[in-house]
Amino acid sequence: MRQGSVRGDGTVPRQRGGRSADELGWDESLYEGGEDGEGGGGGDDDGPRSRHKEGDRPRPRRRRKRRALRWFAIVLAVLILGTAAAGYLWYEHLNGNIRTTPMPDGKRAAEATPNAAGQTPLNILLIGSDARDNAENQKLGGAKETFNGTALADVQMLLHLSADRSNMSVVSMPRDTLLQMPECTDPDNGKVYPATTDRMMTNASLGRGGPGCTVLAWEKLTNIHINHFMMVDFAGVVSMADAIGGVPVCVDANINSRNSKGEGSGLKLKKGTTYVQGEQALQWLRTRYGFEDGSDIGRAKAQHMYMNSMVRELRENATLTSPNKLRRLAEEATSALEVDEGLDTVKKLYDLSNELKRVPPQRITMTTMPYEYVGVRVQPKPGDADQLFRLVRDDVSLDGKDSPQKKKDRDKAREAKASDDPAAAPAETGVRVLNGTATSTTAATPGRASTVAALLQNKGYTRAAADQSSTPVQERTVIRFPSADLEGDAQALAKSLGLPLSSVEESKEVTGVTLVVGGDWRIGDVPPKPKPDEKDDKAPDTADALNGADSKACMRVNPNYTW
């Protein structure tokens, strides 16, 4: 197993040419606490303004620049590997570049059910690490006091590719989102981190067992099964800055991201559209002061705009057919990535890229998890966040453009038919009861599994028993069964509780009839009937959706940072 170096394991850093971060005017003071959170992670890294005139498309430079462009290179790498993989002369060499870490072995969310055509969706967690575990990352990240400290997952995006490969959804989670952490095991040393009852910032998950723990934290919150992860650190993306070329971005007023205290990225652009690369691209991606309310939310929106614009440029830019450029991109992409063992070869990455490239920009939807403030931190917004996660979990396109047949199949699945399997008598049916009443913002109701098990016993299900095992968040109450010979028993249980048949589902994760009491049944003797709006197939407005083909999107500039 080729391990990465995000947790300070002493891996020899990759050597890259070009000027140092100090020579580029890096402002390390921005990582010394302050608004950007704990641990020195994710501050606005400032460099000198570009020597190109604003509005001009800059000329390529010969030297590689030391510029941390972070998370967007992950998706770029996947997109370009498909075109580069034809060069199998470097196949083994490129395979050797790829670093791997195993997926977690802990309790996972159930895998998605195949659609009517037998297809399943694909979920990939994209992680940007702020690791300062070697000299190169230290120069790029600043904050000398954090050298070799615990890495933070300062960028987290869930990329969902639909089962029919017609559309793609991306959900960003702000790095300072407060969550309960699951139990995690560090694959490097076997250290076990116990589950937490108190909430922590989500970016701390990376230091509790690596990217596998970040995967588990997402699954615990969303109940969405994650198939793969892809992660980069500062050094891993530096060399790809100029390889991308100019990308057009837009601001609705002149912007100068620098205040009287010297805080800001140094981004200075004129109103309208400017092609940015290198230093200016770095500044755009890390600008917080000057965009909207100056929070990480505005920065995420700017990153979404850049990512969409970059994808459009890559598709339209004929120069990417250059063999030399493709060789360089393949080399840098494979060196930049740390992935799970399911993506450990160029062939696997190539196959994945072919899947992703099938989606046109107009079917890509970028969103931010609906949130609400808790002091200076945020938490998932009750209702809206759950709705967004449900749409992704149910493979509903966030742009509302699913085909009539897909909508018909989804409605049919919701209107489950009665099983032909005869149900056993209640007293002969064993029922395992789990407490899944936790929500994205509220802890589970204590003793709920025992309470509901007692209710079932009063209904004649004398073999019902509470299971106190940790259970992922369950938005709605469901009944699961492992095989067709228990479907009738599961449906009979649903009928006795007044639950619709659509709440009964087959799952290989259970060994018998299992009732998971959801967040909709935290109190009372009878589960509530599903609300009509629970079938709404639309992303909430608070998700701030941005379509991948929207070339007119413009960042709103804070009046205090204009010139």
Q: Are residues 210 and 119 in the same domain?
A: yes
Q: What does the pLDDT look like over 124-146, one tens digit per residue?
A: 999 887 654 445 544 444 444 44
Would 211 be classed as within a structural domain? yes
Lowest mean pLDDT among 133-147, 150-164, 265-279, 302-316: 133-147
Shared-domain flag, residues 376 and 463: no
Based on the fold, state whether residues 213 and 264 are members of the same structural domain. Answer: yes
**Once rounded to an integer, what is the mean pLDDT over residues 158-169?**
95
- pLDDT at residue 254 is higher than 80: yes
Give 306 or 194, the one with higher predicted confidence. Answer: 194
Q: By 3-state DSSP, what share of the chain in percent is helix, strand and coil, each rounded to 5?
A: 35, 15, 50
306-332: pLDDT as tens digits: 889 878 877 776 445 566 766 766 777
Do the domain assignments include residue 417? no
The mean pLDDT value for 143-153 works out to: 60
Lowest mean pLDDT among 187-196, 426-435, 465-474: 465-474
- Taking the C-alpha atoms of residue 120 and residue 390, their distance in angstroms, rounded to an integer, is 16
Least Cα distance to 8 among 205, 232, 188, 214 occurs for 188
Q: Which of 53-57, 148-152, 283-287 has the highest mean pLDDT?
A: 283-287
CB 306 within 8 A of CB 287: no
**Which region, left, alpha or beta, applies to residue 167 given φ > 0 means left and ψ of -120 to 50 means alpha?**
beta
Which residues have C-beta within 8 Å of that of residue 298, sequence separation ≥ 6? 288, 291, 292, 555, 556
Q: Verify that 246 and 218 share a domain, yes or no.
A: yes
**pLDDT at residue 33 above 60?**
no
CATH number, residue 482: 3.30.70.2390
DSSP secondary structure string for all residues of 176-240: TBEEEPPPEE-TTT-PEEPP-SSEEEGGGGGGGTSHHHHHHHHHHHH-PPP-EEEEE-HHHHHTT
What is the tens place of the pLDDT at every residue in 90-121?
678 888 889 999 999 867 888 888 888 889 99
Torsion sign across C-alpha atoms 220, 224, 228, 231: negative
Q: For 238-292, where are the E strands, in sequence order?
A: 247-251, 255-256, 268-269, 272-276
- Is 535 within a domain? no
Distances (CA, A) of 292 to 91, 251, 299, 337, 551: 45, 11, 9, 31, 19
Pairing between β-strand 228-232 and β-strand 122-129 as defined by DSSP bridges: parallel
Q: Decide if 539 is inside a domain.
A: no
What whole-number distance in Å separates Cα of residue 110 and Cα of residue 97?
A: 32
Rounded to an integer, what distance in angstroms lies between the CA atom of residue 127 and that of residue 207? 13
Task: Please check whether residues 375 and 438 belong to one and the same domain.
Answer: no
79/178 same-domain check: yes
CATH number at residue 127: 3.40.630.190
Q: Is residue 63 part of a domain?
A: yes
User: For residues 450 and 216, what is the distance between their CA atoms, to the nearest angstrom?
Assistant: 26
Write the single-letter amino acid at 440.
S
Range of the domain at 524: 426-528
pLDDT at 231 over 80: yes
The DSSP secondary structure of 28-60, one letter per residue, reads: GGGGSSGGG-GGG-S-----PPPSSPTTS-PPP
Say how many C-beta atoms besides its own lie within 10 A of residue 522's C-beta.
Answer: 16
Q: What is the mean pLDDT of the chain?
A: 78
Q: Are 456 and 476 in contact (CB under 8 A)?
A: no
Q: Is residue 415 part of a domain?
A: no
Q: How far does CA 258 lie from the centroid of its chain?
A: 30
pLDDT at 537: 78
pLDDT at 242: 62
**Residue 166: predicted pLDDT:** 94
Site of tokens 């450990």: 344
Comparison of pLDDT for 173 and 265, the residue scoring more: 173
Question: Do 215 and 103 meet the contact criterion of CB atoms below 8 Å apart?
Answer: yes
Mark whether 393 and 496 lie in a shared domain: no
Do residues 112 and 225 make contact, with C-beta atoms less than 8 angstroms apart?
Answer: yes
Considering the domain architecture, whether residues 108 and 179 belong to the same structural domain is answered as yes
Task: Say whether both 320 and 443 belong to one domain.
Answer: no
Structural contact between residues 14 and 334, judged by C-beta atoms closer than 8 angstroms: no
Top pLDDT among 246 and 68 is at: 246
Q: What percent of the chain has pLDDT over 70?
A: 72
Residue 449 belongs to what H/E stretch?
Answer: helix 448-458
Structure tokens at 246: 């100019």
- What confidence tier does 11 reach under pLDDT thresholds 50, 70, 90? very low
How far apart are the C-alpha atoms of 328 and 350, rounded to whole Å? 16
Query: What confidence tier does 415 reach under pLDDT thresholds 50, 70, 90?
Result: low
Report how far residue 49's alpha carbon sits from residue 329's, in angstroms, rounded to the nearest whole number: 26
Higher-confidence residue: 545 or 326?
A: 545
Residues in CB range of 198: below 8 A, 6 or more apart = 180
> Which of 14-23, 89-98, 262-271, 505-514 comes out lowest in average pLDDT?
14-23
- pLDDT tens digits, residue range 481-497? 988 899 999 999 999 99
Q: How confident is the model at residue 429, as a pLDDT?
A: 95
343-392: pLDDT as tens digits: 999 889 888 888 988 899 999 999 999 999 999 899 998 878 988 998 99
Distance CA 87, CA 92 (A): 11
Report the alpha-carbon distance of residue 66 to residue 338 in Å, rounded.
19
* Number of domains composing the chain: 2
- In the chain the first and final C-alpha atoms are separated, in Å, by 52
Sign of the Cα torsion 527, 528, 529, 535 reads negative
Residue 276, strand partner residues? 247
**Predicted pLDDT of residue 145:** 46
Q: Are 115 and 163 in contact (CB under 8 A)?
A: yes
Query: Do residues 99 and 214 make contact, with C-beta atoms less than 8 angstroms apart?
Result: no
**Would you state the structure tokens that stand for residue 114, as one six-digit string?**
């195949």
Lowest mean pLDDT among 153-157, 249-253, 473-477: 473-477
> CA separation (Å) from 497 to 233, 289, 468, 477?
50, 53, 21, 11
Helix or strand holding residue 514 (H, E): strand 514-517
Spatial contact of 166 and 188, defined as CB atoms under 8 Å apart: no
Tokens 């010979």 found at? 485
User: Domain check: are 435 and 380 in the same one?
Assistant: no
Q: Which two tokens stand for residue 44?
A: 């606005």
CA-nearest of 249, 289, 332 to 77 is: 332
pLDDT at site 27: 34
Do 490 and 552 lie in one domain? The reply is: no
Helix (H, G, I), strand (E, B) or coil at 17: coil
Q: Is the pTM of this model over 0.75?
A: no
C-alpha dist (Å) from residue 198 to 179, 207, 441, 442: 8, 17, 11, 11
Contact 452, 517 (CB under 8 A): yes
Q: Judge whether 21 lies within some domain.
A: no
Residue 236 lies in a domain: yes
Query: According to the model, what pLDDT value does residue 6 have?
Result: 42
Tokens of 84: 């580069």
Rounded to whole angstroms, the Cα distance separating 53 from 57 reads: 8
- Residue bearing tokens 């069964």: 481
Q: Are residues 38 and 83 in the same domain?
A: yes
pLDDT exceeds 60 at position 55: no
